[in-house]
Amino acid sequence: MRKKLSNFIHGMALPNGDFAEQKFRYFTLIGVIALIIVTIGNIIIREDPVEIIALILTEIAAPLVMLISIRKKKIQVGAILIALGMIFFILPIAFFFGGGLEGCIVSWYVFSYLFIGLILEGKQRTFLLVLLTVSVVISYALAYFWPDLVYHHDRSVWYMDSLLSVLVVSYTVYLMVVFQNQLFIQENRRTQQQAVEIEALNRSQNRFFSSMSHEIRTPINTIIGLNEMILREEVSDEVAEDARNIQSASRMLLSLINDILDMSKMESGKMEIVRVPYDTGKMLSELVNMIWGRANEKGLKFAIDVDPYLPAQLFSDEVRIKQILINLLNNAVKYTEKGEVSLSIHCRRAANGRVVVIYQVEDTGMGIRSESIPYLFDAFKRVDEEKNRYIEGTGLGLSIVKQLVELLGGEISVSSVYTKGSTFTVSIEQETVDDAVIGQFSPQKYHGDHSRSYYQQQFEAPDAKVLIVDDNKANLMVASKLLRDTKVQIDTVESGEQCLKLTAQKHYDAIFMDHMMPEMDGVECFRRIREQTGGMCKNTPVIVLTANADGENRALYKREGFDAYLVKPVEGAALEETLKSLLPKELMTGSDSTVAAYGSDAVVRQIRRKAAIMITTDSVADLPEELVRSMNIRVLPYRVVTKDGIFDDGTEAKGDAILRYLADDKVAARSESPEVSDYEEFFAKELTNAQYLLHVAMAKKSSRGFANASEAALSFYNVKVIDSGHLSSGMGLMVMEAVKEAENHSQDTDMLGKNLAALKDAIQTSFIVDNTEYLTRNGRLSPWLNKLCTALMIHPVIVMKDSEMTVGGIIFGSGKRARQKYIHKALRGVSNVDTDTLFITHAGISGEELAQIRNEVETIMKFEHVYVQQASPAISINCGPGSFGLIFRRRYQHEG
Ligand code: ADP
């Protein structure tokens, strides 16, 4: 039965018809067939003629509506019409003429719910289900209250009608469910098949890209190789210029092909990561050699800074890391017109013997608008179309870089100040090989760049015998020419077979082997050379020359035991370099002239070492100059806004000067935090001195400083802003603690932040206000309270509580007595005072008075360091002359 049903469905199935249409067609037909059976039954048992006519009308109308709506591609409309017909026509007639509850109706209600539920979708379905429910309830209610509305039958007719309907509807429902199930299975199968087809398409697309890349590389190999030969010759300047243009165009083409291939691999998840031990110094040298020439050509400086503790060897995918860095460095050069491009490399020990290497590529170029940063790593998107109109590139690079970084388990971020420059930071955790570190990095010179003036042959080996195997004649010619200056004796063959013939008779000192060759490929040929009975080259180094160096192949070459591999198009220097490393030393003459090639003026300058972490703060931290200098704290000034201009807090406007200015009570002044853009600029500048900034901000409820700095910090991955919870020297104390903590936890900034947050409660910031008038002027005290305070000689003591300034107490008395009382209260009222540091921060207090204050403090407690500090305008404006505060910290429990 099931099988027949399934065949029937297959027979009826529209080859490409959609799921909804098939369902509509089947279910309407099943319903109509059921109705026809019931109609025949009703005629036999002599049901009410009205009901019979209604049934016949429905049996004609429903299929018609169905066919028309399918033809007009309006299935939902057709289904709605049929459902409406059920609700308003056939169901009420069947209810009232079919004998109400005792007739067939209950089963037909169930059928109707199922029909609407399965055929309709979305809001229409809900609406019609509600409509049907209303119609059912109304019919029941009418029958209940007015039983006469219901047509009465004989008992036998009722029973027969009901039995017939139950059977027909039940089978119908059964069929509908089975159909639904079958359709579902069918649909599922179709989806699976589509997935298989997509996968196959994907694979063939990949194969296509890969073979395209292989095919395109071969002619580019010829172009680049022969062009290099032209550049080596003594040709006219014009020819040399043309050759250089050919060189840069072919490199561009090559990088485009590489990008497209990488992108296609990424998309199909085929990008492989091959981790091997590699030499960090060598890799960095190669990078330097590649980039400095390009930077030089544009008149840019190139600087590199390498952490001396970087392990000399690491275990990761060297090729991909190099690809990432080359991409970032190329962009830096490309998007910078003047100034400098730099690469800095630092590392941090991670768990289980690994290190996190942080690579930072910085430029002084055009920068990136902050609104473009979120799209920066999206493929096919040039973030600044307008400005970059004349710059070549596809916008694939950064997307590939990001995906590679993620495949390597690392992170990438960017911080950029538009028009000033960008910094890309990549961090990748890598395994270490041993404990050796790189020490002072001095790049070895490689012939990475081959413009005419730089070519210098690396060695000569006239007695060395080299065999080159490649099925492509052009490739053979290019490789031979590129090696010409080394004077090695070269034989070339076009197949694996010919190669084996030669290796059986003649000893070679090195063999260059193409990978993809018809009949016998390079890998097979290599195996046979190694196993060749009586072979003369069983131990000869074999170098694969390949046009497809993806992860899979790289792993294969390593596994097979090739001595090296070179990717086509190959440049002369790379060929020489590899050969030089594999040929027996005694065969080589001419020397290592490589260092001389660039002359003695080192192109690579060691840039200033950046601090791992630096503490920054705002001028309102009220720290003495000498501390700021000795602790290397960077300070951003707040602003003092007056009618006569805006001044930088601390430098342009000092606290006392402001107080003198304010002595004239017709003027006003207020202190304002820097804007978000000021913070951005400040952070960007300071990040040239440190890898990480921790900015200590003024109590967040006392100024906009914290909010503005936090907003600015969002543009940088390596800036953290903390709420000091204090102001003035209380904030300064927090800054000093931050400097100390940073020395201990420079690698763990989360810990650092946590420790500082715990310190907030330990710092005691309070000020005694001599004259409440200033508080009144700034709206912090009402005029009548001011009058009361002045009349009663009341001095409020301002303290910090939960990051907020509040009045912590009041002191009565004349100036001098009040000061004494405050000192006693401030020092004695606190347990566990840390007697290391005390700030006496003041506004408009004479030297004599300050000496008295110091003496008074000493009678109570001796502090190791006492700083007498003039308060910044921010404090002076609020507290007025004659105010001062004792600021220190408590020791907290676990500090002992
Ligand atoms: P493209 O091939 O266009 O350089 P990328 O993916 O490498 O593609 O870069 C995407 C976009 O990001 C570039 O078009 C450019 O607008 C911007 N960009 C990348 N690096 C820098 C940089 N160092 N300075 C300024 N803009 C950059």
Angstrom distance (rounded) from CA 705 to CA 617? 10
Q: How far is the CA of 227 from the centre of ligand 1 (A)?
A: 29
Distances in whole angstroms, Cα of residue 514 to Cα of each of 448, 520, 522: 22, 11, 6
Angle subtended by helix axes 75-85 and 105-119, to nearest 10: 160
Distances in whole angstroms, Cα of residue 119 to Cα of each of 81, 126, 180, 642, 819: 12, 12, 10, 75, 87
Token pair, residue 538, equals: 């069983």
Write down the pLDDT at residue 655.
Answer: 66
Q: Determine the average pLDDT of the residues in 790-808.
A: 84
Q: Is there an atom of ligand 1 within 6 Å of 329 CB?
A: no
Distances in whole angstroms, Cα of residue 102 to Cα of each of 163, 173, 527, 564: 10, 21, 89, 91
Token pair, residue 764, equals: 């005691």
Sign of the Cα torsion 261, 262, 267, 272 reads positive
Write down the pLDDT at residue 4.
Answer: 55
Q: How far is the CA of 607 from the centre of ligand 1 (A)?
A: 24
User: What residue's CA is closest to ligand 1, atom 2?
Assistant: 393
Collapsed DSSP state (helix, strand, coil) of residue 513? strand
Q: How far is the CA of 242 from the centre of ligand 1 (A)?
A: 27
CA atoms within 13 A on the CB side of 578: 23
| Band (386; pLDDT cuts 50, 70, 90) | low
Collapsed DSSP state (helix, strand, coil) of residue 490? strand
Angstrom distance (rounded) from CA 341 to CA 785? 61
Which atom, in ligand 1's list, is nearest to the CA of 377?
A: 6
Write down the pLDDT at residue 97.
Answer: 85
Q: How far is the CA of 418 from the centre of ligand 1 (A)?
A: 13
Least confident stretch, 48-52, 610-614, 891-895: 891-895
| Band (830; pLDDT cuts 50, 70, 90) | confident
Q: How far is the CA of 799 from the centre of ligand 1 (A)?
A: 51
Is the separation of the CB atoms in 323 and 290 below 8 Å? Answer: no
- State the Cα angle at 156 between 154 and 160, rounded to 5°: 125
Q: How far is the CA of 236 from the centre of ligand 1 (A)?
A: 36
Token pair, residue 868, equals: 């007498």
Number of H helices, E strands in the chain: 29, 27
Q: Which of these, 562, 578, 479, lies nearest to 523 by C-alpha position?
A: 562
Which atom, in ligand 1's list, is nearest to the CA of 395?
A: 8
CB crowding 350-384: b at 16 or more within 10 Å, else e? eeeebbbbbbbbbbbbbbbeeebbeebbebeeebe
Bridge partner residues of 805 (DSSP): 800
For 683-695, how does the pLDDT look when each residue is reduced to its tens digit (9 = 90+)? 888 887 777 889 9
Q: Determine the average pLDDT of the residues in 522-536.
A: 92
Our mutation pick for probing the ligand 1 site, out of 252, 330, 331, counting the most ligand atoms within 8 A of Cβ, is 331
For 44-69, how does the pLDDT look when each residue is reduced to its tens digit (9 = 90+)? 887 778 888 998 999 999 999 999 99
Q: Is there an atom of ligand 1 within 6 Å of 422 CB?
A: yes
pLDDT tops 80 at residue 864:
yes
Q: Which of these, 771, 679, 760, lies nearest to 720 by C-alpha position?
A: 679
Q: Report the chain's mean pLDDT, rounded to a whole number.
A: 84
pLDDT tops 70 at residue 599:
no
User: What residue's CA is closest to ligand 1, atom 11?
Assistant: 382
CB atoms within 10 A of CB 581: 11
Q: How far is the CA of 421 from the centre of ligand 1 (A)?
A: 12
The backbone region for 269, taken as left when phi is positive above 0, alpha when psi lies in -120 to 50, beta otherwise, is left
Q: Tell me the three-class secondary structure of 133-148, residue by residue.
A: HHHHHHHHHHHHHCHH
CB atoms within 10 A of CB 830: 15
Cis, bond preceding 569 (omega within 30 deg of 0)? yes
| Band (651; pLDDT cuts 50, 70, 90) | low
Q: Which of these, 552, 539, 543, 508, lies nearest to 522 by C-alpha position?
A: 543
For 123-144, how does the pLDDT look when each residue is reduced to its tens digit (9 = 90+)? 999 999 999 999 999 999 999 9
Q: Is there an atom of ligand 1 within 6 Å of 747 CB?
A: no
Least confident stretch, 296-305, 547-556, 792-801: 547-556
Angstrom distance (rounded) from CA 96 to CA 94? 6
Bridge partner residues of 605 (DSSP): 303
CA atoms within 13 A on the CB side of 34: 26
Q: Determine the average pLDDT of the residues in 59-85.
A: 91
pTM of the model: 0.53
Is the separation of the CB atoms in 423 and 360 below 8 Å? Answer: yes
Angstrom distance (rounded) from CA 570 to CA 133? 78
Pairing of β 614-618 and β 634-636: parallel
Angstrom distance (rounded) from CA 475 to CA 544? 13
> What DSSP line would sit under 705-726, residue for residue?
HHHHHHHHHTT-TTEEEEE-S-
In this structure, what DSSP letter does residue 425 have? Answer: E
Angstrom distance (rounded) from CA 428 to CA 308? 18
Write down the pLDDT at residue 503.
Answer: 94
Angstrom distance (rounded) from CA 681 to CA 420? 9
pLDDT tops 50 at residue 336:
yes
pLDDT tops 50 at residue 611:
yes
CA atoms within 13 A on the CB side of 285: 18
Q: 3-state SS of the chain: helix, strand, coil percent to 5?
A: 55, 20, 30
Write down the pLDDT at residue 551.
Answer: 66
Angstrom distance (rounded) from CA 839 to CA 889? 10
Angstrom distance (rounded) from CA 457 to CA 447? 9
Angstrom distance (rounded) from CA 598 to CA 372? 40
Write down the pLDDT at residue 868.
Answer: 92
For 10-27, how does the pLDDT look when each residue is reduced to its tens digit (9 = 90+)? 544 444 456 778 888 888
Strand segments (E) across 744-880: 763-764, 766-768, 794-801, 804-812, 833-843, 865-870
Q: How far is the CA of 328 from the centre of ligand 1 (A)?
A: 9
Q: How far is the CA of 674 from the centre of ligand 1 (A)?
A: 31
The backbone region for 439, taken as left when phi is positive above 0, alpha when psi lies in -120 to 50, beta otherwise, is left
Write down the pLDDT at residue 390.
Answer: 45
Q: How far is the CA of 435 from the centre of ligand 1 (A)?
A: 37
Token pair, residue 22, equals: 């098939």
Which residues are CB-contacts of 686 (< 8 A; sequence separation ≥ 6)?
A: 614, 616, 634, 693
Radius of gyration (C-alpha) of the chain in whole angstroms: 43
Our mutation pick for probing the ligand 1 site, out of 335, 375, 381, 390, counting the most ligand atoms within 8 A of Cβ, is 335
Q: Is there an atom of ligand 1 within 6 Å of 397 CB?
A: yes
Angstrom distance (rounded) from CA 414 to CA 360? 9
Angstrom distance (rounded) from CA 853 to CA 875? 19
- Total count of residues recorded for the chain: 896
Write down the pLDDT at residue 600.
Answer: 29
Which atom, in ligand 1's list, is nearest to the CA of 327?
A: 7
Q: What is the largest CA-CA distance in the chain?
A: 124
Collapsed DSSP state (helix, strand, coil) of residue 799? strand
CB crowding 124-151: b at 16 or more within 10 Å, else e? bbeebbeebeebbeebeebbeeeeeebb
Q: Is there an atom of ligand 1 within 6 Å of 331 CB?
A: yes
Write down the pLDDT at residue 16.
Answer: 46
Q: Is there an atom of ligand 1 within 6 Å of 417 CB?
A: no
Our mutation pick for probing the ligand 1 site, out of 263, 398, 412, 426, counting the most ligand atoms within 8 A of Cβ, is 398
Distances in whole angstroms, Cα of residue 886 to Cα of each of 686, 812, 829, 839: 31, 18, 12, 6
Write down the pLDDT at residue 98.
Answer: 80
Q: How far is the CA of 335 from the centre of ligand 1 (A)?
A: 7
Angstrom distance (rounded) from CA 836 to CA 685? 33
CB atoms within 10 A of CB 867: 19
> What DSSP line would sit under 438-472, residue for residue?
--S--PPP-----SGGG-----B-TT-EEEEE-S-
Least confident stretch, 157-171, 203-217, 873-887: 203-217
Q: Is there an atom of ligand 1 within 6 Å of 382 CB?
A: yes
